[in-house]
Chains A and B, each alone.
Chain A
Amino acid sequence: MQSALFHTTLYISLALCVLGLLWRSSAWFRVRVGPDVRAVTLSQRVGALLRGAASALFSVRVFHILGALFLDVLLLRRLFAKEKLRWLGHLLILAGFTLLLLMHAFEAVVTVKLFPGYESTLAPYLFLRNLFGAMVIVGIALWFFGRWRRRTGLASVRRPMAAAFVALLGFVLVTGYLLEAQKIASPQAFYRMAKRFSGTTDPGELMPLRALWASEFGVAFDDLTEPMTPDVMAKGRQMHDDDCASCHAKPASAFVSYPVSRLLAPLTGFLDKARADIWLLYLHVFACFLGLATLPFTRFFHAVAVPASLLVNASAPNQAFSAAGRASKRALALDACLRCGICDAHCSVAPLARHLGNPYLLPAHKLVATGALANGHLLRSGHENEGFRVAEGAFLCTDCGRCTNDCPAGLDLEDLWQAGRGDLAAAGLPAPAQWVQALPALAWAEALEAAHGQHTASDPDASCAPLSADRRSFSRCVQCQTCTNVCPVVAQSIAAEHRVDLTPQKVMNLLRLGLRDLTLGSRMVWDCATCYQCQENCPEGVRVTDIMCELRALAVHRLGSVRSGRAPS
């Protein structure tokens, strides 16, 4: 390969990679998620990083960081705890790729220095190169198998270029194997080497060596017709020992390339003529450079962002982060998410996401939306419906914390969700409890009446409100006031600004009177803590709390349609 071209391309790729990394990592100091970090400045964030790094590195915390580096970054402990198969796959990719990089790509600066007798065509390097490549391929296969097995039934989120990146990685491996196979079988390569090390290219003179190499090293000579007598072979071995053995072991240990070279043997002559060794090398190397140059913008960026996130998390307990530190941690989390989908598979509201057909309930989708909102891509005009759906997803999350617990990258997702909800509220998409309570119950009932021309509880949606639509569920109410007596919300709602408008038994009474619409926007329904005291104590067995929950769901549905001026989705 021409050195100038190689080096020019290498340095251009390297420069692009460095610039890309700088740009991507600058986002960790630019992007703001959450109202609590809106006022944070760039200098504060850089300061927080420096202070955080200093205080972590010069305290016992450094052992946390070392532990995280070894257990979380190198051994992928968190993934191991969740999914053994994917852990195995990822570890194979990580180990195989890293070892290939060190032993093969960096052979001139690493392997040669460590192992003075190193030649890429000697044992065990032939075998090891094939092994590392095979590890990566098996790893990729396992990873996809694990992903397929854990599918949620909803479209999963993928990085835009994820498939292209994997294809590129595969391409590098395949061209590498093909190049090696072609070189094993190529007579041309044989003659080139023979000229260099034994000073001749005369086929007759080289015949014994050719005979040996044809039988033991897999070179596919098409003109080798002489019988291979033991004498010839012995002479060939002598020549081999003199000129070749110091650099060449038998290629059979290249357990992928060698069988491939056997398969390709019939084509070798043609490939030699076409100079396959050169263009395969170009393809192999330039694919690597392409990977290097695009690394900051592909899935492979996680190799930078995830370790960064794990180490930052290990540097201090969550509550010790300042607003500036939190801002950077959240921005980093947006980049460190791999869209691996483990959180989606374990999400406790996943059934609801399927039922509503709204993937924004699922963590991985929500993270993308949170990032889009922070970057200003979400709420463009014409995408209002998208915003409503994202808000629906954000506010139906139960904060159960499973996603945070299960995230193999150790992201503090709960914090991210909370911050994202703050951003949504600030963008005019607050929680239903907030937008409903912005108007008094009576105003909502009037709005419903104006919109639908009906005020009473004749209901077109009995299926989604089975309790409040069926008078048998509250007709036993004797207005004994037990529900109100045991209600901690009523007990705490003393000050005028927090006072509930209706008590639970008044809500039941409105239902009895057929005035359900009057309850939908009521503070009692929306301030209910769902402690179930009322329901557990009701002497008549009225499912008071269940009805409250249903009224809320109904309110989101019906008042939401009045609010957005459109039919409920």
Chain B
Amino acid sequence: MTGESRNTFDVAVIGAGMAGMAAALFAAERGLSCIQVGSGGGILFASGLLDLLGVHPAAEGRQWRSPFNALAALAQKQPDHPLARVDPVAIRTAFESFVTALGEAGLVYAPLGDRNRKVLTSIGTVKTTFGVPLSMVAGANALEALDVLDAPDTPPSCLLVDFRGLREFSARQIAATLADRWPGLRHQRIEFPGFEDAPELYAAHLARALESGATRERTIALIKPLLGDAQLVGLPTVLGLGRSREVHAAFEAGLGVPVFEIPTMPTSVPGLRLLGALEAVMSARGVHRRRQASVRALACDANTGTATLDLDGVPGGERVSARAVVLATGRFSGRGLTADRGSVRESILGLPVHQPASRDAWHQRDFLDPSGHAINRAGLRTDDAWRPLDMSGKPAWPRLFAVGSILADQDWMRTKCGSGLAIATAWAATQQLADQLHGTAA
């Protein structure tokens, strides 16, 4: 990274999850100098699949074939939902921009259509999502063919392969779960070449090993005799880390049939790939990163229009200043929100958190209630320009913005809209932010 000594920026993004990464990317693309604080470790829980809006309403668990239709329905029923407050055209643009940047960093996604895709999970269930990595798309195609054709004599025959010792992935379990729907689905277990003595395998180690041509050739040679009539091969997500494109292409060429990866359980290779690609994106766009740092104090000066951030985790500490701040600190696991016995508070500035009146109202009586819990919809409320409000209901600071899961009035896990929420709100907020900064600069 260049200019490590620099300490004045247009934008400071606090948080390095999906929302923080998206905000930093979009800010940089709008020509703003940007510093980002946070480890990015939360990205490791990602599956590499980019959800937009899969389920709505949560209580009904209704899955949508088109996320844009789902967005329209959401706008009708829940106009306060952050996703409902962003123009669907802008959401589409934001996704294209995000996916393009990832593709430049080596993590290529299938072209985004208008519909949600269906992807196999590592336990054989089907997940509804929007953006699918190229290495997984052949599986989605096959799975969707089962629904569309609905003709028992035509499903593609498919071989699922797993590796002895890789405990997080069982081809047999997936095949058993799908046996009724997918008659041509077979499974085989092989030894991973070079790891025959290892009692336990870890997906990332296999992914790294497959970046070596020799291991790749030996693995392909082990799978090839098992192909039989298979028109398709499914593997756990182990086809390379930073060079997944090359490894996937080599498998397809070597086996002579389409090959698809099935996302492994988090945290694993998909998260490592995504984090690696996003870090490369940040580096390429000149975003200054403070990976090991955290914000000890944030002071927003109303007179000078400058925010000052005191950072911990940097040797000797560091103080940076920025003209605008994006709060992308996430919820409880991201530590953007902190819950104690009585209430929930925002961790850095102590901004008012929209939340149930008392702890009794945090949860439903039934833990697995499909409509979710009130505490999961707690968060920051903002004005139309994505600026979190203070006690008086006014923006806390003219250029303090909040994006991603820290926003109130959404339950992204149940409605399968995590990436969508992050990317859409980051896009909308950086738009507002850029307008303001350019306005003041002019």
Contact = CB atoms under 8 A, between A and B. Distances in A.
Contacts of B272: 485-486, 537
B267 A480 contact: yes
B204 interface: yes
Contacts of A491: 202, 204-205, 208-209
Interface in B175-234: 194-195, 197-199, 202-205, 208-209
A485 B197 contact: no
Contact of B41 (A482, A485, A496): A482
Nearest to A539: B41
A266 interface: no
B41 A494 contact: no
B347 interface: no
A183 B291 CA distance: 80
Nearest to A532: B292
Contact of B267 (A481, A495, A541): A481
B135 interface: no
Interface in B273-288: 275
A536 B202 contact: no
B39 A541 contact: yes
Contact of B266 (A480, A486, A495, A540): A480
Interface string B37-81: 001011011000000000000000000000000000000000000
Given A486-B272, A494-B197, A537 B44 contact: yes
By secondary structure, the A interface counts as loop
A539 B269 CA distance: 14
Contact of A485 (B42, B195, B199, B204): B204
A541 B39 CA distance: 8
Contacts of B294: 541
A68 interface: no
Given A486-B204, A491-B202, A496 B42 contact: no
B41 A540 contact: yes
A497 B233 CA distance: 35
A317 to B, nearest CB: 34
Nearest to A540: B41
A342 to B, nearest CB: 28
Given A480-B45, A485-B204, A494-B198, A536 B267 contact: no
A490 interface: yes
B227 to A, nearest CB: 27
Given A539-B45, A541-B41, A481 B195 contact: no
B268 interface: yes
B205 A490 contact: yes
A490 B200 CA distance: 10
A232 to B, nearest CB: 83
A15 to B, nearest CB: 62
B208 to A, nearest CB: 7
A484 interface: yes
Nearest to A481: B267
Size bin of chain B's contact surface: 20 to 34
Contact of B42 (A495, A499, A503, A539): A539
Contact of B44 (A480, A484, A503): A480
B44 A539 contact: yes
Nearest to A498: B197
Interface in A460-503: 480-482, 484-486, 490-491, 494-496, 499, 503
Interface in B151-177: none
A562 interface: no
A44 to B, nearest CB: 42
A486 B269 CA distance: 10
A498 B272 CA distance: 26
A7 B168 CA distance: 92
A485 B195 CA distance: 15
Contacts of A536: 39, 291-292
A540 to B, nearest CB: 7
A486 B292 CA distance: 17
A147 to B, nearest CB: 33
Contacts of A496: 197
A485 B238 CA distance: 12
Nearest to A541: B39
A486 B42 CA distance: 15
A538 interface: yes
Nearest to B205: A491
Interface in B12-56: 39, 41-42, 44-45
B292 A485 contact: no
A479 to B, nearest CB: 10
Q: Which of A480, A537, A541 has the most CB of B within 10 A?
A: A537
B292 to A, nearest CB: 7
A482 B44 contact: yes
Interface string A520-556: 0000000000000000111111000000000000000
A482 B197 contact: no
B161 to A, nearest CB: 20
A294 B298 CA distance: 72
Contacts of A485: 202-205, 267-269, 272
Nearest to A538: B41
A359 B261 CA distance: 58
A536 B45 CA distance: 15
Contacts of B291: 536
A481 B266 CA distance: 9
A368 B294 CA distance: 47
Contacts of A482: 41, 44, 267, 271
> Which 5 pairs, one residue from A and one from B, show the smallest C-beta to C-beta distance?
A539-B41, A485-B204, A491-B205, A482-B267, A480-B267
22 contacts: A481-B268, A482-B41, A482-B267, A484-B202, A485-B204, A485-B267, A485-B269, A485-B272, A486-B204, A486-B272, A490-B205, A491-B208, A494-B198, A496-B197, A499-B198, A537-B39, A537-B44, A538-B39, A539-B39, A539-B42, A539-B44, A540-B41
Interface of A: 480-482, 484-486, 490-491, 494-496, 499, 503, 536-541
Given A481-B267, A481-B268, 8 more contacts: A482-B41, A485-B203, A485-B272, A494-B194, A494-B195, A503-B202, A539-B44, A539-B45
